[in-house]
Amino acid sequence: MSKPIVFVTRMLPQPALSRLLEAVDAEVWPAELPPDPDTLRLKTAGRDGLLCLLTDRIDDSLMEAAGLQLRVISNCAVGVDNVDLAAATRRGIPVGNTPGILTETTADFAFALLMAAARRVVEADAYVRDGKWHTWGLTTLLGQDVYGATLGIIGFGRIGQAVARRAAGFGMRVLVYSPSTTQEDNTITQTDLHTLLAESDFISLHIPLNKHTHHLIGPDEFSRMKPGTILINTARGPVVDPEALYTALKTGQIARAALDVTAPEPLPADHPLLTLDNLIIAPHIASASQATRGKMAEMAVDNLLAGLAGERLPYCANPAVYH
Ligand code: DGY
């Protein structure tokens, strides 16, 4: 019997890749950069399955062009804002994602950004390398205390909760604003968004990107923050209005920000945000530990193979497809 044919939009880590290649007839896109939209469309046409990354836009027209035989889309990420889930559901195509496995790794990185921004680690490194370290100074590179500060967490799913656990170790007071219902937890205080913005020393974003969260943090929200506030974004870039962020950092409306995600991604080298010293930017690597990326690839392969076999995906982002 012939194997199902699939397109994989980027090289996967081992052992996930070998397992996939044994089970299916796969074309794996070999380049570092993703296939452009026309190539992606061309390569997906006629395939039974698609394994993609968050950099690939999977819209209705791509599914249309793929053909009726396309029976599974497996996204190697927990976020699925790059996939038109409603269109996939309408077409009866289950979409897989990778929840849970990257929770702790992502929370570690959110906290690493928080600490680095609070204690100006990136500026301090540049200061030494630039030959500016002439003596021990009483007021050199003063930062903010993390211990005992108030952390506002926006979005209290798995990753938000994991960040709260880390904050407990630092004796932080944790405020939570969660657009969806949150279970009782006596280590945090649930509040409305405006209270969180006004009272937090650090604000960390952990919500998915959708039409309700697009530019959730804009000019009005920045104006409600304290001047010393540090904003951390490991969720999705467009949750923050980049122009408003630039103004808030440039004018001292907030103290600092640390981003793992930006809008757009990647950020062009001449983007105004990159002129700011009070901003740390990482290239979307919060889940990038060797172990976690390997497990994400395994989950993505599990989802793909289940979909190809006509089985329910172990991790399905559009369970309504089964109704
Ligand atoms: C995701 O999975 O959605 C992260 O942004 C990358 O790991």
Q: What is the pLDDT of residue 184?
A: 77
Is it the case that residue 182 has pLDDT exceeding 70?
no
Give residue-wise pLDDT tens across range 56-72: 999 999 999 999 999 99
CATH top-level class of 5-101+290-322: alpha beta
* Secondary structure (3-state) at 20: helix
Task: Determine how many CB atoms are found less than 10 A away from the CB of residue 323.
Answer: 5
Q: What is the pLDDT of residue 26?
A: 98
Residue 233 CA to ligand 1 centre (angstroms): 12
Do 103-281 and 5-101+290-322 fall under one CATH topology? Answer: yes
Task: Determine how many CB atoms are found less than 10 A away from the CB of residue 87.
Answer: 18
CB 288 within 8 A of CB 300: no
Among all chains, which residue has been given the structure tokens 């103004």? Answer: 247
Q: Which atom of ligand 1 is nearest to the CA of 97?
A: 2
Residue 98 CA to ligand 1 centre (angstroms): 8
pLDDT band at 1 (very low <50, low <70, confident <90, very high): confident
Domain boundaries in the chain? 5-101+290-322, 103-281
Q: How many helices (H) and strands (E) does the chain have?
A: 11, 12
User: Which of 78, 83, 158 is the best mutation target for the ligand 1 pocket, counting ligand atoms within 8 Å of the beta carbon and taking the most?
Assistant: 78
Q: Which of 183-187, 231-235, 297-301 has the lowest mean pLDDT?
A: 183-187
Q: Annotated active-site positions, please? A: 236, 265, 284
* Secondary structure (3-state) at 151: strand
What burial letters (b/e) apply to 206-224, b meaning 16+ CB within 10 Å?
bbbbeeebeebbeeebbee
Indicate which residue's Cα is closest to atom 7 of ligand 1: 287
Residue 247 CA to ligand 1 centre (angstroms): 27
Arithmetic mean of pLDDT, 84-102 = 98
Indicate which residue's Cα is closest to atom 4 of ligand 1: 77
Arithmetic mean of pLDDT, 233-261 = 98
Q: Which atom of ligand 1 is nearest to the CA of 293?
A: 7
User: What percent of the chain lies above the pLDDT cut of 90?
Assistant: 97
User: Which of 51, 80, 102, 259 is the best mutation target for the ligand 1 pocket, counting ligand atoms within 8 Å of the beta carbon and taking the most?
Assistant: 102
Which of 1.10.287.3510, 1.10.3470.10, 3.40.50.720, 3.90.550.10 would CATH assign to domain 103-281?
3.40.50.720
The set of residues, in sequence order, having a beta carbon less than 8 Å from that of 251 and lying 6+ positions away, is none
Arithmetic mean of pLDDT, 268-283 = 98
* Terminal-to-terminal C-alpha distance of the chain: 30
pTM, two decimals, is 0.96
* CA nearest neighbour of 205 among 184, 185, 179: 179
* CA nearest neighbour of 213 among 232, 229, 236: 236
Residue 235 CA to ligand 1 centre (angstroms): 8
Among all chains, which residue has been given the structure tokens 């791509």? Answer: 62
Element (H, E) at 174: strand 173-177
Element (H, E) at 243: helix 242-250
Arithmetic mean of pLDDT, 291-307 = 98
Q: What is the pLDDT of residue 186?
A: 87
Q: What is the pLDDT of residue 213?
A: 97
Residues 284, 182: Cα–Cα separation, whole Å: 27
Pocket around ligand 1 at a 6 A CB cut-off:
54, 77-79, 102, 287
Taking phi first (over 0 means left), then psi (-120 to 50 degrees means alpha), and beta for anything else, what does residue 171 get? left
The four Cα atoms 221, 225, 227, 229 give a dihedral, to 10 degrees, of: -110
pLDDT band at 181 (very low <50, low <70, confident <90, very high): low
What does DSSP say about strands 189-190 and 173-177: parallel, antiparallel, or unpaired?
A: parallel
Per-chain mean pLDDT for the chain? 97
The four Cα atoms 64, 65, 71, 74 give a dihedral, to 10 degrees, of: -100
Among all chains, which residue has been given the structure tokens 């007839």? Answer: 25
